[in-house]
Amino acid sequence: MAQKNKLDGAEADELSAKRSARSPEKYQRILDAAIEVIAERGYFQSRVSDIAARAGVADGTIYLYFHNKEEILLGAIANAFSAFMELAQAELASESDPREQLRRLALLHLSSLGSNRNLAMVFQTELRQSARMLAEFSQHQLKQYFDLIRSVVRDGQRRGIFRAEISDKILANCFFGALDEMVTSWLLSDREYPLSGASEAIVDVILRGVECPPRP
Amino acid sequence: MAQKNKLDGAEADELSAKRSARSPEKYQRILDAAIEVIAERGYFQSRVSDIAARAGVADGTIYLYFHNKEEILLGAIANAFSAFMELAQAELASESDPREQLRRLALLHLSSLGSNRNLAMVFQTELRQSARMLAEFSQHQLKQYFDLIRSVVRDGQRRGIFRAEISDKILANCFFGALDEMVTSWLLSDREYPLSGASEAIVDVILRGVECPPRP
Amino acid sequence: MAQKNKLDGAEADELSAKRSARSPEKYQRILDAAIEVIAERGYFQSRVSDIAARAGVADGTIYLYFHNKEEILLGAIANAFSAFMELAQAELASESDPREQLRRLALLHLSSLGSNRNLAMVFQTELRQSARMLAEFSQHQLKQYFDLIRSVVRDGQRRGIFRAEISDKILANCFFGALDEMVTSWLLSDREYPLSGASEAIVDVILRGVECPPRP
Amino acid sequence: MAQKNKLDGAEADELSAKRSARSPEKYQRILDAAIEVIAERGYFQSRVSDIAARAGVADGTIYLYFHNKEEILLGAIANAFSAFMELAQAELASESDPREQLRRLALLHLSSLGSNRNLAMVFQTELRQSARMLAEFSQHQLKQYFDLIRSVVRDGQRRGIFRAEISDKILANCFFGALDEMVTSWLLSDREYPLSGASEAIVDVILRGVECPPRP
DNA sequence: AATGAATGAGCGTTCATTCAT
DNA sequence: AATGAATGAACGCTCATTCAT
């Protein structure tokens, strides 16, 4: 009779513990299947049984690893996202020039998503959806990436490389927006031109808009 | 789920005829209600009965004006979008300098959506969703706007104002992407800062990235 | 996302209003079907679809009249019980001698349930079950009947007819318990002897145990 | 649902053999756990895994001792019941006066259940439920007890102590019904008054109703 | 044209039972 | 013997759509 929608800490921990105790490989297989299916049909039109079938497990097995359908989406996004974030952070660590850092981020952004259409689809559509559905959670994810960009921008401003009279939020937004839109339109296009091919051009445009003009 | 997405000519005509024959005011009321409800809950989580209630009509009445739920979303988006497109085209007609045209478009973009949060929500999230569901349709709509921007960009390139060595598609993309992202992050933010306040800064960044550098 | 298990007053009223506004005849048909099906299989083994089929309505129709399966059971029991209670109260009103009142109650008890095996089954098994599940509700129902008996007993005690040195609760309990058990064993027996045939004998035993002994 | 209720001889033997061959202590632990859990939640709302957890064994282990869930309930009730029946028979053996025998049975009945609320709950609600599910079985159990009472009653009738003009079945029923109802209402009540406190009063009422009136 | 009661296909989730280890 | 991860059948409930009024 009494249902709880929010997990108390103990329960959540219990399930987390199970995940690793049971088959971590199966856990990952479900996440991968979820990305695939959700990319194809969208979250709301994906059936849990579709995901189970794609993962090669029984319907009920899903619920040994996730509390409910929503958590599958969350888990799949978080999983894919954190992998991407790690790459991004590594990319920045090996380079100190803000210009170059943005260049590398752009390439990573486009090549990561460009090489994984399913992932891109989920990021461009479901991540937004879920940002609405589950504000706290996925907004946090997206914001993490956005903040990474902002920190590079602020660094560039502090060092006199990027224009300081414009808010770092807006500069970062122009950068991220240009990349993001590129991915979206690439996804909607039928021809599969290489997405990362646009990287140089975009960076070129944005950097020029962002950089301090050369002193004459 | 297995529903017909394509109407045969006769049926479509029949419905179109009905729409105008019946109450155009009620038709519009349903569209407005749809935007509201979908903005609040998202398309898949909106119930047809919610929309009906909001529009002040009976559930069954909806089906005198639309074949199915999907068509309501389509109609609502198309309706709102064409209003926006008309404004955009008018804006361009009264100005011939590409720089100024982009400036005006940006302001229109941000102030239109900034003054109508519901509409913005539908555009930023549902339009993307439906870009998959209804690829032909909404892609067509969005593409129309995108092409408008591209035509301005191409005009600027032809007249030596904008950089010609970069594809107009990419330049337009940077412009649109920056605006689009601004709207999205504004939506997801809690503080309701005026969206259009960012217009000048964005245009400033993008134009500088897009324009030919001043000859020394 | 947010679910409510308890109805707020408005909602409950809304559904109650609907019941009468819609088809009261269909509402009753569902209740009757519920009694039948639940009598046959027990509450937990009854399927909502069984009840719907028996009532000759679609599964979904059930939910126009009841919020959930539990409420069907509640409704069915409450409905049947209140009919019984009305009879019982009428029976008492037309008679003032406590001895005779108990005699009539016993006959009503046994003949009511004896002439409706389904009803008897629900009262003897599901009412107890639900008394556990839904303490407040059905305990209230059963208590109402029990209190009726107690009031007769107290009346008899006050008038010096029934033994006053024993608590009215216990006297009423002996009376009710004897009848109740009679019904249960009748239900479990295969032979269908007339249940009400036992009425005289039971009343005879209980009355003698309850009455003040005749003064010598 | 379509499960076999009847075991063929071979299977039944095999399981019986296992039970004793394996750990009889674990078998008992499961039965005890079952009584607890079923008393708390009711049979249908109890999960096999709940019982396993309470017994401190793995889910699968249950099936080394029982064929299915239903058999656990059966076993638990049979187990508890036979313990009670042994007490009852011992009680009768040490006393030959039917009046006194009934008095002792009543006290045993109320004190046994009154000192074990879980057991009482199972007897008062689940045994009735299962009287339907498992008619043959639990009817047999309950009948055994009932027959014990009847034999005392018949003995009293034969010896001219109890009224012979009323069927022994009905007399026994009044006796058992009064006790049974007392237990039920005690269970449903919140206050935990001592159940056996009512024994004297009940026996007093019933005996007077049952006994032959004293010759003047 | 408008209504809203009725429909029933469809899906998320549970849990008794199995079986590889 | 014991485990507990895996299974998948089963069911309560929702909601887009229809149609008698």
Q: Is the sign of the CA dihedral B75, B78, B80, B83 positive or negative?
A: negative
The SS3 assignment for B57 reads coil
Q: Which of A133, A146, A177 sits opposite B177 (nearest CB)?
A: A177
Tell me if chain A has a CB within 8 Å of the CB of B40: no
| Secondary structure element (H or E) that encloses residue B117, with its range | helix B117-121
**CB of B60 lies under 7 Å from some atom of strand E:** yes
The pair phi, psi for residue A192, each rounded to 5°, is: -100, 70
A44 or D1, which is more confident: A44
- Tens-digit pLDDT profile for residues B90-148: 999 999 999 999 999 999 999 999 999 999 999 888 888 776 666 666 678 888 899 99
> Measuring CA to CA, which residue among B140, B158, B152 is closest to residue B207?
B152
Which of D145, D174, D195, D215 would best serve as a mutation to test chain C binding (most C beta carbons within 10 A)? D174
* pLDDT for residue C5 is more than 90: no
The span from the CA of B40 to the CA of B121, in Å, is: 8
Say yes or no to pLDDT of A126 above 60: yes
Using DSSP's 3-state secondary structure scheme, residue C43 falls into coil
* pLDDT score, position A142: 82
The answer to whether the CB atoms of C124 and D124 lie below 8 A apart is: no
Angle C98-114/C135-158 helices, nearest 10 degrees? Answer: 150
Please identify which residue in the block is written with the tokens 């004896």: C114
Contact state of B131 with A210 under an 8 Å Cβ cutoff = no
Nearest CA in chain D to C185: D173
pLDDT digits (tens, 9 = 90+) for C172-200: 999 999 999 999 989 888 767 899 988 99
Return the residue in D205, D206, D207, D211 with the most chain C beta carbons within 10 A, the one to mutate for interface testing.
D205
Domains of chain B by range and CATH? Answer: 1-66 (1.10.10.60), 70-216 (1.10.357.10)
pLDDT digits (tens, 9 = 90+) for D166-211: 999 999 999 999 999 999 989 888 767 889 988 999 999 999 998 8
* Number of C-beta neighbours around residue D172 at 10 A: 23
Pick the residue of A1, A71, A73 with the most C CBs within 10 A to test the interface with C by mutation: A1
Cα gap D140→C191, rounded to integer Å: 16
Tokens coding D14: 């095999």
Strand partners, C162: C211
Q: From the C1' of E10, which residue's alpha carbon is nearest? A: B1
CA B33 – CA B51 distance, rounded (Å)? 6
What pLDDT sits at residue D127? 83
pLDDT score for C6: 41
Q: pLDDT band for A1, please (50, 70, 90 cuts).
A: very low
pLDDT score recorded for residue D133:
64
Print burial letters for B109-124: b (CB count within 10 Å at least 16), e (below 16). Answer: bbbbbbebebbbbbbb
> Is residue B42's pLDDT more than 80?
yes
CA D58 to C1' E19, whole Å: 14
Q: CB within 8 A of A210, min separation 6: which ones?
A: A102, A153, A156, A162, A163, A171, A174, A175, B205, B209
- Per residue in A36-87, pLDDT (tens digit) is 999 999 999 999 999 999 999 999 999 999 999 999 998 998 888 889 999 9
More confident of the two residues D58 and C18: D58
pLDDT, tens digit, 9 for 90 and up, residues C122-179:
988 888 776 666 656 666 778 889 999 999 999 999 999 999 999 999 999 999 999 9
Residues D76 and D90: their CA atoms lie apart, in Å, by 22
> At C214, which amino acid appears?
P
CA atoms within 13 A on the CB side of B98: 25
Residue type, D112: S
**pLDDT, averaged across chain B:** 87
Distance of CA D214 to the CA centre of its chain: 34
Greatest Cα pair distance in chain A? 75
Q: Is the CB of A68 within 7 Å of strand E?
A: yes
Percent of chain C past pLDDT 90, that is, above it, reads 64
Q: How far apart are CA B200 and CA B107, in angstroms?
A: 8
CA B139, B142, B148, B153 torsion-angle sign = negative
User: What band does D143 get if pLDDT is binned at 50, 70 and 90?
Assistant: confident
A128, A180 contact by CB (below 8 A): no
Q: How far is the CA of A192 from the C1' of F12 (A)?
A: 45
Mark yes or no for CB contact A5/C2 under 8 Å: yes
How many H helices and E strands in chain D?
11, 0
Summarize the confidence of residues D69-78 as an average pLDDT. Answer: 92
Beta bridge partners, A211, equal A162
Amino acid at D32: D
The residue of chain A nearest to residue C69, with distances taken between CA atoms, is A1
Evaluate whether C114 touches C102 at the Cβ level (below 8 Å). no
pLDDT at C192: 73
CA atoms within 13 Å, Cβ hemisphere of C83: 13
CA distance A208 to A205: 5
DSSP string, A35-100: HHHHHHH-TTT--HHHHHHHHTS-HHHHHHH-SSHHHHHHHHHHHHHHHHHHHHHHHHHT---HHH
pLDDT at residue D93 is higher than 70:
yes
Closest partner CB to A5 (pick from C3, C70, C133): C3
pLDDT at site B135? 65
Instruction: Return d(Cα D14, Cα D11) in angstroms, integer.
Output: 5
The answer to whether residues C35 and C55 touch, using CB atoms and an 8 Å cutoff, is no
Which residues of chain C neighbour A135 with C-beta distances below 8 Å? none
Is any Cβ of chain C less than 8 angstroms from the Cβ of A2? yes
How far, in Å, CA of A127 to CA of A141, rounded?
9
Q: Span D135-151, mean pLDDT?
A: 83
Q: How far apart are CA D126 and CA D85, in angstroms?
A: 18
Quick check: B198 and A171 in contact, CB under 8 A? no
C211 SS3 class? strand
C205 interaction partners in chain D (CB closer than 8 Å): 163, 166, 170-171, 174, 206, 209-210
- Does B188 contact A at CB distance below 8 Å? yes
Q: Dihedrals φ, ψ of A54, to 5°?
A: -60, -35
Confidence band (pLDDT; 50, 70, 90) for B157? very high
D213: closest CA among C99, C209, C199? C209
Q: Which pair of structure tokens corresponds to residue C213?
A: 């002994």
Do D170 and C201 count as a contact with CB atoms less than 8 A apart? yes
Q: Give the torsion sign (CA, C78, C79, C80, C81).
A: positive
Please give the helix or strand (H or E) that residue B24 lies within, else none. Answer: helix B24-41
In order of B166, B206, B211, the CA distances from B172 in angstroms are 10, 10, 12
Average pLDDT over residues A111-131: 86
Q: Fill in the amino acid letter for C40.
A: E
User: What pLDDT band is residue C8 in, cutting at 50, 70 and 90?
Assistant: very low
User: Rounded distance, CA B63 to CA B48, Å?
Assistant: 10
Among A3, A70, A133, the residue with its CB nearest the CB of C5 is A3
* The amino acid at D182: M
F1 C1': nearest CA residue: D22
**Using CA atoms, how far apart are residues B175 and B162, in angstroms rounded to an integer?**
13
D72/C contact by beta carbon, under 8 A: no
**pLDDT for residue D4:** 41
- pLDDT score for B148: 95
Q: How many CB atoms lie within 10 A of CB A208?
A: 17
